Amino acid sequence: MPDLSNRLPVTGRLAALPLLLTLVAACSGTSATPTPSSPGATPGASLTPAVTAGPTVGAIDHKTGATDVILRLEEGGGFVPIDFLASQAPSFTLYGDGVIVFQPKVETFPQPDAAGVVHGVPWRTAKLDEGQIQELLEFALGPGALGTARDSYFDPRIADAPNTIFTIDAGGVDKSVVISALSDQAEGADAAARAGFWKLASRLRDFDSGGTIPTDAYQAGRYRGVLFDREPQAGPAALPWPWADIPATAFKEEPLPDGGTSLPRHTLTQAQVEVLGIKDVTGGLQGVVLSGPNGKSYTLTVRPLLADEPA
């Protein structure tokens, strides 16, 4: 049984006692009732047994809906290939009901397969109890520096670095914070804030401690397909156009949520993604070459959508 006390502590003695009793019951062999999952996810693996610690005195208020984002980390931007922009997604999300969806930390980014397709790292999901939600929000607002943060922290000395974006909606704080070129080397007037952001980002980037905390694979019910025109060129053979009911014109150019690059996209169901005939699509795909019925060649990027994300 993994030791969760260091990674996911609860706040306060009133919250700690029910969790301790729960862990004792789990170690003695008592079975736990499965916890509900969020829409679009597999039944969430509980990071503790199912008995839930109640809110403590002075608890941080937050929404409780399955699509209410109360804490999120997203990273993107900078000088990267268009496929990376098309597949950009939040790397950690905590919903109001305690469900978390995150991308596990990897040391090596996946390489293209024999067909030139890159298979994204599958996301993971689990469910926190209220005590763990409180502890994480307290960390984010306090040591993680979001409670007193400005809306943006830009470093004009580094123009091509990606942005780190935090979103929080808890304890009366509802905002997004954008930090450019976040690293463990903080200096200048914002050094203290940047050091806090780095602590929080580091924790969320490796939330399951390298896979040592049990979680489930996240199964998306919907995917975002992004289609690019492609010049005919040597390389892997193009797949025939897979959808009789989805023309290339169905992929409409729309701006990314941050108001930046516009990309031609269309929402795909799980069944429509499976029609591609490509295995291991759970984490998304990059570099799928399609031959359109109009004789044109295209490159398709597919990425899972989260419960709160619009089509």
Q: What is the DSSP string of 227-241?
A: EEEE---SSSPPEEP
- Could you tell me if residue 98 is left (phi over 0), alpha (psi between -120 and 50 degrees) or otherwise beta? left
Does the model's pTM come out above 0.85? no
pLDDT for the residue 256: 60
pLDDT for the residue 290: 95
One domain, residues 178 and 299: no
pLDDT for the residue 255: 66
The residue out of 216, 235, 269 marking a domain boundary is 216
pLDDT for the residue 244: 94
pLDDT for the residue 225: 95
Judge whether 150 lies within some domain. Answer: yes
One domain, residues 159 and 245: no
pLDDT for the residue 33: 31
pLDDT for the residue 11: 34
pLDDT for the residue 261: 65
- CA angle 258/197/177 to nearest 5° reads 30
Which parts of the chain register pLDDT below 50?
A: 1-46, 48-57
Report how many domains make up the chain.
Answer: 2
What amino acid occupies position 23? L
pLDDT for the residue 230: 86
Between the alpha carbon of residue 202 and those of residues 47, 206, 240, the distances in Å are 19, 7, 42
Handedness of CA 243, 246, 249, 255 (dihedral sign): negative
pLDDT for the residue 87: 79
One domain, residues 189 and 278: no
